[in-house]
Amino acid sequence: MTIAQKTPQLDYQMPDIAAASRGLYVNGGWRPSHSGRDIAIVDPSTGERLTSVPDATVEDARLCVQAAAGAAPLWRATPPRKRSEILRRCFELMIERSEMLATLISMENGKALRDARGEVAYAAEFFRWNAEEAVRITGEFGIAPSGTNRIIVDYQPIGICLLITPWNFPAAMATRKIAPALAAGCTVILKPASETPLTAYALAAIYEEAGVPPGVVNVLTTSDPGSITAEVLGDPRVRKLSFTGSTGVGRHLLAEAAKHVISCSMELGGNAPFLVFDDANLEAALDGAMIAKMRNAGEACTAANRFYVQSGIYDAFAEGLRKRMAALKVGSGVDGQTDCGPMITRKAVEKIGRLVEDAKTRGARALCGGETPAGAGFFYPPTVLVEVSASSEMAHEEIFGPVAPLYRFETEEEAVASANDTEYGLAAYVYTGDVARGLRVSTNLEAGMIALNRGLVSDPAAPFGGVKQSGLGREGGQHHGIAEFMEAKYIATSF
């Protein structure tokens, strides 16, 4: 594999890095941290420093809670139509500035520009969708079975929300939480990943321009997330924690939230199986595999992590996948010709390399890729491994990179059992020409989301979330997303 070393094609809109890193966003204004310290932001394509952002302290966290608490009564009382119009304006501004946002994502995250553009469109859609849902929050009215009283159920904002988002989708993971929270009438504190905070700050400026009042959205970055999280969750005014990230961190946050009996939504790790049966359309399965594996270069919780391919189609699928993966261009994220950008950090590359080497020692063969390249940046080549052992570490651990391991199976029962042999249950993919089999397998797979003859499962209009160790609650969907940010209040009356 060779990494493009030429100057990237300048077919993008250069963002204002200085504006995106001007300070913490608290109560509608920009400010330095109490400590005066900064966090360096690195370009994964080069390993060089892009800029820095403030490193927040517990004092800054207290200011965020104070701002969110001060803004809460007015925002809660804002008519749903007014909230809806503000959310719609957030969507419109994101679309207007999509090129700038996409370039910023590519610069700090490393993902290919075409992926970043797709992320911005996806992220903006959460504002449009929740703008429409904000005016459709209704209660319930009924008669008690005894006939002696009426039952009224009112849905109210849950309160101040702490939102913690990962680095792999710096725009979408933020808007997927902020949009329904604001639609429900909540105020929020966002803590984006310290690797990719520039997008979150750029979006904060857009919210302000769209009319989100001061204090409704607050954004802070920190190198000490444990102390910040404990401080915020320890304040009795904070009533909700929504987290997207690893299962290990999720367990820790659940324990912290349990101390204060705080409602939690958790979108955690995945180990998605991709099942291909002999009767599947080969080209369609390969198309889906490339989307499910290579979206964001494999750095996605929904990424296909284990490819189970039935024996009759195994060799053809392996060769087809090899050709497609080997043809991908690896290079700088902002190069418009790049298909696969760098990984987020050197540590991420080292983890991928360790998993690949472990698989090789257990009998796997690399049809393409499989070796860490030399040079600047955090790159790993698109890789296809065949004859991978079920005992390999990558069969049980998220790869989070552009590596597709193939496992051979004979029967449907064997495939389902292997797919379910994991503590995770976020997403799964099934390719078959038999509709009955597809529905049967989808029913038997232990995952919160199934893509049947599709390589993409995410949609703002559908409930996103997993089962088992992959999380709690749902984001998005017709009512699921907003429901996570509301409390049901029961009123008994005899009228």
Helix axes 311-326, 282-294, angle to 10 degrees: 50
* 90, 161, 264, 301: the active-site residue: 301
**Cβ contact 240:485 at 8 Å:** yes
Q: What share of the chain is helix, strand, coil (3-state, %, to 5)?
A: 40, 20, 40
Per the annotation, the verdict on 301 as an active-site residue is: yes
* 108, 267, 398, 484: the active-site residue: 267
For 316-461, strand residue ranges (E) read 365-368, 383-386, 403-409, 427-431, 449-452
CB count within 10 Å of CB 18 equals 8
Q: Which residues pair with 243 in a beta bridge?
A: 164, 266
Per the annotation, the verdict on 371 as an active-site residue is: no
Tokens of 108: 């700090």
Catalytic residue list: 267, 301
